[in-house]
């Protein structure tokens, strides 16, 4: 297990300033626009191997729903104390009931979530098993895709909700999991104080829209250009800067797993941030949602791109040590900063 020293992680960032930024999180309102996905976890204990076929038999213990995709980003913002306006399309099913019920239970205005009659909500079901006296482990994932592209009439209704919510928030977070709720066309001309983007498969398709920053991970950047980056930092710099220019962004934050993050800004050299915490993650599910949630919220609170990236790095390091689709609280984030400050002293 490896970790970086506090001085290495700290770099030029003022840790007391980071605490000031997190303290203002509850005063921010963020519109979360994108694909709202239900993450279903079926847990149980492996009892035996079937006589009928060489398969494991899982004795069911529990089934739980968690917000996934854009809903996970929204959930992270709520855990950090922010106010959230979720905007997106879901189906007319139990998964949609669970998602909407979750946000209503937290006092969130869900008028931006559009239910599409007869459609299904994208649901990812993870089967998590354990043997007697062993830890839990994911053994299978089953994806139930939503209805695909939205009808023109549904898009028109959703567009109105996007325009309304984006205009009255401190910032907008766009989360595109390619599940059908959000498209580059829906965002053209949408006005927001600033907007951040996380697009799983088609980052460059959003060039016509206006974004302040984007947060791809390294594999997404590689897939975008059909290249292998690996340990080649010159290649990472080349394609990071190419994306920054192509999308006319002010900043591009590339997450690299155990290799930390690299921030690209206009007219500045790449800014490298080593990983926070250990590099043997427990579960990376939804970590990108946590990163963009913290990054966006910090920008809304007045952080520089470097400050926002450091805060996102703390959050990413915390959340990957949790199992399943998880969030990071403001208290956890502040504890990590204070721990760094103590180490630096």
Domains by residue range for the chain, with CATH: 6-36+69-121+147-344 (3.40.1190.20)
* Neighbour tally for 273: CB within 10 Å: 25
Q: Where are the alpha helices (DSSP H) in 169-304?
A: 184-187, 218-225, 233-246, 287-300
Q: How far apart are CA 3 and CA 158, in angstroms?
A: 45
Q: Is 87 exposed, middle or buried (0-12, 13-18, 19+ CB in 10 A)?
A: buried
Q: Residue 172: which H helix or E strand, with range? A: strand 171-176
pTM: 0.91
Q: How far apart are CA 121 and CA 289, in angstroms?
A: 19
The pLDDT value given to residue 12: 65
Residue 259 catalytic?
no
The pLDDT value given to residue 180: 84
The pLDDT value given to residue 131: 76
Per-residue b/e over 114-129, b at no fewer than 16 CB within 10 Å? Answer: bebeebbbbbbbbbbb
The pLDDT value given to residue 147: 65
The pLDDT value given to residue 10: 40
The pLDDT value given to residue 232: 87
Ranges under pLDDT 70 in the chain: 1-12, 132-133, 147, 344-345
């Amino acid at each position: 297990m490896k970790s970086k020293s506090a001085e290495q992680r700290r770099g030029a960032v003022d840790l007391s300033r980071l605490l000031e930024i997190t303290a203002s999180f509850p005063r921010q309102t963020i519109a979360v626009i994108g694909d709202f996905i239900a993450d279903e976890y079926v847990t149980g204990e492996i009892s035996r191997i079937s006589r009928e076929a060489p398969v494991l038999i899982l004795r069911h213990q529990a089934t739980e729903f968690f917000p996934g995709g854009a809903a996970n980003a929204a959930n992270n913002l709520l855990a950090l104390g922010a106010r959230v306006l979720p905007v997106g399309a879901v189906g007319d099913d139990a998964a949609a009931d669970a998602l909407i019920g979750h946000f209503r239970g937290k006092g969130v205005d869900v008028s931006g979530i559009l239910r599409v009659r007869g459609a299904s909500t994208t649901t990812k079901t993870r089967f998590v098993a354990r043997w007697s006296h062993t830890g839990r482990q994911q053994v299978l994932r089953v994806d139930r895709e939503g209805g695909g592209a939205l009808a023109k009439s549904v898009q028109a209704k959703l567009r109105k909700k996007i325009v309304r919510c984006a205009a009255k928030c401190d910032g907008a977070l766009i989360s595109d999991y390619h599940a059908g709720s959000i498209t580059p066309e829906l965002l053209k001309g949408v006005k927001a104080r600033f907007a951040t983007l996380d697009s799983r498969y088609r980052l460059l398709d959003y060039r016509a829209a206006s974004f302040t920053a984007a947060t791809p991970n390294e594999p997404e950047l590689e897939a975008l250009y059909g290249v292998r980056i690996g340990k080649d930092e010159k290649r990472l710099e080349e394609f990071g800067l190419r994306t920054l220019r192509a999308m006319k962004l002010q900043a591009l934050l590339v997450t690299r797993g155990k290799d930390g993050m690299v921030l690209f800004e206009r007219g500045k050299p790449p800014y490298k941030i080593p990983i926070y915490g250990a590099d043997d993650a427990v579960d990376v599910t939804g970590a990108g949602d946590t990163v963009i949630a913290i990054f966006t919220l910090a920008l809304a609170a007045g952080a520089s791109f470097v400050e926002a990236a450091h805060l996102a790095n703390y959050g990413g390091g915390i959340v990957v040590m949790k199992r399943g689709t998880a969030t990071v609280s403001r208290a956890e984030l502040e504890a990590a900063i204070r721990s760094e400050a103590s180490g630096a002293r």
